[in-house]
Amino acid sequence: MENTLYSYSPIIDRPKIVWPNGARVAFYVGLNVEHFEIGKPSTSIWEGTANLVPDPLNYGWRDYGVRVGIWRMIESFDKYGIRPSVLLNSDAAERYPQIIRAGKERNWTWLAHGKTNSMLHTDMAPAEERRFLIDVVETIAKATGQRPKGWMGPGLTETFETPRILKELGFAYVLDWTADDQPFALNLPGMISVPYSVELNDLGLFGAKSFTGEEFYRTIVDQFDQLFADGARSGRVMALALHPFVTGQAFRSKYLDKALDYIASHEGVWLTTSDEIAEHYLKNAGQSGSANDQPRALVEA
């Protein structure tokens, strides 16, 4: 089966992207605020107990993020003027009102991230999926006062119909397709993909790869330095994917702070949100839904 959602477009053949104020890199934090059901296996620090009910080891590890870790991370975000793009489960929107209140006070951006991270977004008929997505969107909008414009599925999951249904519900972009350093058009007019990362992602780096805090910091710096150099030719997006139960741990917090300080200290960086990246790209690219229809230049707004 061929991928018909988007067309092939090598980065060397595209029109130049110019971010506001001539920035080389548009940087945003993708902050995962999630709820996990106690009776279902999910993201685990030790698979040995993952299928037990209850599973205090793994459930407690995940629950640390919304109870403690996120509040430590907020201090760093505030220090550097970073407004996270929150990948929000609708169940989390209902269950953690203090987090929602903190985000509203700071003008965070809210994206739909499914209902719960104990449930992947798959195996639904179109009518069922539409009802499901309407409930997710309305729950998040009610809690945050902001109707989401962006989507990332739990575990970056979609059905083949998800982008079309999201478009009908007023969405402008998805994060699931981690195929690029720049936004790109889907073959669905008005819908784009905004870069996210499964590589520059604390869950993979600390979990699967067992990185130390220093290695995490070095990886972020190396990613930024290369994208900053690439951005001299055409603007790039740097997404830093974070989970409060991972980077919010006490012994890791200083490395996040150190990395954000490095990025924020550079001229030519747009500290922004995924919503603002999508809005700027759509406004200036004149998208018609096909990579082949992109104009030969993007001008600064």
Q: Examine the pLDDT at 300 and tell me if it is beyond 60.
A: no
Percent of the chain at pLDDT above 70? 95
Q: Give the bridge partners for 49, in sequence order.
A: none
Question: Which DSSP string corresponds to 215-243?
Answer: HHHHHHHHHHHHHHHHTTTS-EEEEEEE-
Band of residue 1 on the pLDDT scale cut at 50, 70, 90: confident
Collapsing DSSP to helix, strand or coil, 185 comes out as strand
- Cβ distance 138 to 110 under 8 Å? no
pLDDT for 68: 98
Q: Quick one: pLDDT at residue 95? A: 98
CATH class belonging to 15-37+71-293: alpha beta
pLDDT tens across 41-75, in order?
Answer: 999 999 999 999 999 999 999 999 999 999 999 99
> Does position 298 have pLDDT exceeding 70, yes or no?
no
Provide the whole-model pTM: 0.94
What tokens does 238 get?
A: 């740097």
Tokens (6 digits) for 27: 């940087």
Residues 117 and 107: their CA atoms lie apart, in Å, by: 24
Q: Where are the domains of the chain?
A: 15-37+71-293
pLDDT at 290 over 50: no
Please check the confidence at residue 297 and state whether its pLDDT lies above 80: no
User: What's the pLDDT score for residue 285?
Assistant: 78
Q: What is d(CA 298, CA 155) in angstroms, rounded to the nearest whole number?
A: 32
Residues 270, 219, 234, 172, CA torsion sign: negative
The predicted model gives 23-33 an average pLDDT of 98
Average pLDDT, the chain: 94
CA–CA dist 256, 263 (Å, integer)? 11
* Digit-coded pLDDT (tens) for 162-195: 999 999 999 999 999 999 999 999 999 999 999 9
Q: Three-state DSSP class for 26? A: strand
Q: How confident is the model at residue 291 (pLDDT cuts 50, 70, 90)?
A: very low
Q: Using DSSP, how many helices (H) and how many strands (E) does the chain show?
A: 10, 9
User: What's the whole-number mean pLDDT along residues 151-158?
Assistant: 98
Provide mean pLDDT across the span 285-299: 42
Q: What is the pLDDT of residues 104-125, one digit of tens each?
A: 999 999 999 999 999 999 999 9
